[in-house]
Amino acid sequence: MGSATLLATAAIMVRLTSANDVAVSDRTVRLSDVAELAGTDAPALHDIVIAALKDSGAPQEVRRIDVAHLIRRALPAAKVVGTLSGSIRIHGPAIAVPLPAPAYSDEPEVRRGDKVTVTSTVGPVAIRRQVVALQEATARQKRVFVRSSDGEIFSAPLQAGEAR
């Protein structure tokens, strides 16, 4: 209890940082992140946590006057000086966000030699023909070469994961 009483009653001068952008090493904001300290007990106060950042990972704008209030709440005897107008942008370490899996695969949707159906539609009439794929095609590809039963070779569009 003796050391806590000494810290609360000691005269501490706290100068807010002049920086408009502050990076913190983890999700907590320490006194030394946002201010310079002067006084006999200053080295012991650098690691006092005054706030925690939201878990969103996005930088947070905090008004300088609010930072001063957080400091005074943590150190009631501190005299806070410096610019109190404006704000400080505080950001923590980047949070790794997993990228979504691609909507397509590099695995072939159609393999060479596969029998597929080509559908030609004009108005209400749809004609379907069995053909043989002459090449592999992945979902990224838009067309595939095919051979019909009468030996005709043509390019057919891929649609919904198959030759149409």
Domain holding 146, by residue range, is 115-163
Of 56, 91, 126, the residue at which a domain comes to its end is 91
CA distance 93 to 86: 23
Residues 72 and 131 placed together within one structural domain of the fold:
no
CATH classification at residue 150: 2.30.30
In a domain, 4, yes or no: no
Residue 98 belongs to some domain of the structure = no
pTM of the shown model: 0.50
Instruction: Based on the fold, state whether residues 70 and 120 are members of the same structural domain.
Output: no
Specify whether 70 is located in the same domain as 122: no
Domain count, the chain: 2
pLDDT of residue 59: 83
pLDDT at 104 > cutoff 70: no
Structure confidence by residue, pLDDT tens digits, 117-145: 988 888 888 889 999 999 988 877 888 89
Q: What is the mean pLDDT of residues 47-64?
A: 82
- In sequence order, the 6+-apart residues with CB closer than 8 A to the CB of 158 are 109, 110, 137, 139, 141, 142, 143, 144, 164
Q: According to the model, what pLDDT value does residue 109 have?
A: 83
- Count of Cβ atoms closer than 10 Å to residue 43 Cβ: 10
Residue 26 shares a structural domain with residue 65: yes
pLDDT higher than 60, residue 1: no
CA distance 89 to 13: 23
The answer as to whether 102 is a domain residue is no
Residue 97, pLDDT score: 59
Summarised one tens digit per residue, pLDDT across range 77-92 is: 788 888 888 988 888 7
| 129 within domain boundaries | yes
127 and 72, same structural domain?
no
